[in-house]
Amino acid sequence: MPEILAPAGNRDSFDAALAAGADAVYLALPRFGARAYAANFTLEEVQEVIATAHLHGMKVYVTMNIILFEEEMEPAYRQARDLYEAGVDALIVQDLGLMHLLKHRLPALEVHASTQLSVNRPFQMEQLKKLNVRRVVLARECSLEQIRACARVQDMETEVFVHGALCISWSGQCQFSAVRHQRSGNRGQCAQPCRMQYELLKDGHPVKTPGSFLLSPRDLSVLDDLDLLQTAGVDSFKIEGRMKSPLYVYEAVENARLGKKRSREDRLALAAAFSRGFTRGRMMDEHGSGLMAMKAGNHQGVSIGTVSGGSRDRVRIRLSMPLHQEDGLRFVWEQGSAGGHANFLYDRKGRLIREGAPGQEVEIPLSSFVPAGADVRLTVDARRTRMVQEQSLHPGRRLMVQAELENSGPGHPLILTLTTPDGHWVQAVSDPVQAATGRGLDAGRLRQQTEKSGDSWADIRVHRMNVPDGIFLPVGTVNRLRRQALENLRELLTAPRKAEETGCLWQPPVVSDTLPPLMVQIQKPGQRLETDAVWMSEFSIPGTVHKAALTEDSGEITAHLGQGRILDGMNISNSWAIAAAQEMGYAGVVLSEEMSEGQIRSTLQGYEQRYGTPAPAAAVVYQKRRLMLMDHCPVNTLERDGSRTGCSLCRRHSYVLQGMDGTSQQLYGNPFCHMQVFADEADNRLEELADLPFKVVRFTTETPQEAAAVMAEITRLQGVTSRSCD
């Protein structure tokens, strides 16, 4: 059975995951994790959690899954080293530079590649092997066939999200929050613009839509399909939700353990814990309106009744499912919604009651107006919350331990060996046993006393006994032997590790070819000009070299660890990440667009100081920032049927997402029907980065005249820079 991997945003959620029987948890420290606004853990708390988890046979992974800037690399490495010494089982990492650093300084630390790396093909996994990666968290956009192909890669494990929130953008390719809200999703600070409201404009005119949350997907749930994923070769079933409640964590783990065997009550309990509605996602070929939750972007709960009336300060509900005192509720109708709690629950005679039954009418105090006919949804199940709190006091998971008993006869000790599933073992040795003067030690009693672990963290099962007849040993001695063996095992499993650092400095290869001074990416033939630059495009445009799109394996300029000479789209933000790309075989890189001028210059300087040669890294100096790259097409979903069959509507008309804050985002598909969301305004850094040796320009919706003006400005600035260097 694949591992069930649960989120733990705080200690209560960890306890809930342990109580529900999760095989592993993932969590973060306050720095370098992709959930900056979760409670997270201190290093001391992580040490405590690791000790508890290991005693119960559970693994702990720590996320350090943000992109890192030059000045953060050494602090990030020190944190990784501290976590290794604390006993962490693996780090989940996005930054290629940190992977490179850990490979060469601390190779014993297991590294898993974050879903933020957009891995969906075997070649990408082979590339990550070169950085000592042991497991890849596949992109949530992967189809089942892509998952199968990736799972066949030798010596690499695959981890797949099976339940929880979806990002509508391709993993790691969203800059919407960074550009519009100055909170980078790749830095753990996402403002969730996908959960905000938008209006779709076609050629400047509003398009009628079934809701205004046009970028908000439902929550992924493939818990009924776990057998397919297991057959595909997936090693770990991952549950999203480090910002969610302990109740959600418990219910999600419980449902994942049961899979198809879960009852209707199990499913409803999970949906009540958190749900925007569920989808099986692209993994199971669900798209269009079946993927989206366009009427709301937050927790919707489970329908339990209908508003049947009320008064100025109360609302009356006809129940279709039970309602308990202290439950949280959401009321939804066509024009709005309201929230409330059943802190006081009354029957029709005005008597205070603790619960209402299906078919019964009940009343609760509510100051907000709610019309008759409104749907009543359970959003907080107080009874289940209390149950999880109680269960969390008694971990449901115990470490399975095999025991072996060995004795060579009177005058020799009884030796008890305990072995864990992953091969850790200890021994405890008794004093020499005596010859029996009467009836000897009964084998059944010896087994019973050895396996008597009570409420211990271990579940002991005697695997082998090699004990002769005719020996005597008091039961108390057997009990002391068992307790000593368990204490020895506890010390072994919770002992700190010492990091053995290699201090190895990787050296870049000596290469004859270098990057072009100027690379220009275009979307339309009219943007191609007769200038001295390397022109590139994802489209088949005469006079351009091929730049690979997200799902392609190859191109002169490749995207996302594909085959090609220059690596783009991987959020390269420090000098070690440039070295990582070279170690994987790339001639050079395009730097992350999230870097400031100072961060770009410190990265280039750091590389040259360390390796004695200029960095093969280009910076983007002009573009309309791509905010999202989506497999989902809002244009086809809202104008057609969402089947994404190459309708080309997005290139034959002007489609704009108008935010409630007045910002405009342009929609434009790539050749593979992946929707791109672009900022309407240009990010012009031509002047501040004019002296850099390698530059990239990206044109999207610019007219030929606008493109020509940009190229003329580059020519002018090059002349100024050259004269200033004379």
- Residue given tokens 């240009």 in the structure block: 682
Q: What is the mean pLDDT of residues 480-497?
A: 93
540 has pLDDT over 80: yes
Which pLDDT score, from 0 to 100, does residue 726 have? 40
On average, the pLDDT of the chain sits at 92
Which pLDDT score, from 0 to 100, does residue 73 have? 97
- Residue given tokens 């590339």 in the structure block: 127
Crossing angle of helices 96-105 and 575-583, rounded to 10°: 80
Q: Which helix (H) or strand (E) holds 134?
A: strand 133-137
Location of each CATH 3.20.20.70 domain in the chain: 3-166+217-283
Which pLDDT score, from 0 to 100, does residue 644 have? 67
Range list of H helices, 495-596? 575-583
Chain centre to alpha carbon of residue 540: 34
Location of each CATH 2.40.30.10 domain in the chain: 302-391
Which pLDDT score, from 0 to 100, does residue 324 have? 97
DSSP for 323-348, written as a single string: EETT-EEEEEETTEEEEEE-SS-B-T
Structure-token pair, residue 11: 């200690």
- CATH number belonging to the domain at 302-391, selected among 3.40.50.300, 3.40.50.2300, 2.40.30.10, 2.60.40.1220: 2.40.30.10
The per-residue pLDDT for range 158-215, each reduced to its tens digit, is: 999 999 999 999 988 999 999 999 999 899 889 999 999 999 999 999 999 999 999 9
Beta strands in 624-663 (DSSP E): 626-630, 655-659
**CATH class, range 3-166+217-283:** alpha beta
Beta pairing partners, 269: none
Q: What Cα–Cα distance (Å) separates residue 419 from each residue in 53, 396, 422, 490, 719?
A: 17, 21, 8, 12, 72
Model pTM? Answer: 0.93
54 has pLDDT over 90: yes
| Closest residue by Cα to residue 481 from 503, 505, 460 | 460
Split at pLDDT 50, 70, 90, the class of 725 is: very low
The per-residue pLDDT for range 246-287, each reduced to its tens digit, is: 999 999 999 999 999 999 999 999 999 999 999 999 999 998
DSSP for 205-258, written as a single string: EEPP-S-S-TT-B-EEE-GGGHHHHHHHT--EEEE--TTS-HHHHHHHHHHHHH
Rg (CA), the chain: 30
First vs last C-alpha separation in the chain: 68
The per-residue pLDDT for range 617-670, each reduced to its tens digit, is: 999 999 999 999 998 999 999 998 777 677 888 888 999 999 998 999 999 887
| Closest residue by Cα to residue 701 from 627, 643, 624, 633 | 624
Split at pLDDT 50, 70, 90, the class of 34 is: low
The per-residue pLDDT for range 395-448, each reduced to its tens digit, is: 878 899 999 999 999 999 999 999 999 899 999 999 999 898 877 778 888 999
Amino acid at the residue 1: M
The two beta strands, 695-698 and 617-623, are: parallel
Which pLDDT score, from 0 to 100, does residue 58 have? 96
42 has pLDDT over 60: yes
d(CA 510, CA 614): 12
d(CA 262, CA 308): 32
Which pLDDT score, from 0 to 100, does residue 11 have? 96
Q: Are 680 and 666 in contact (CB under 8 A)?
A: yes
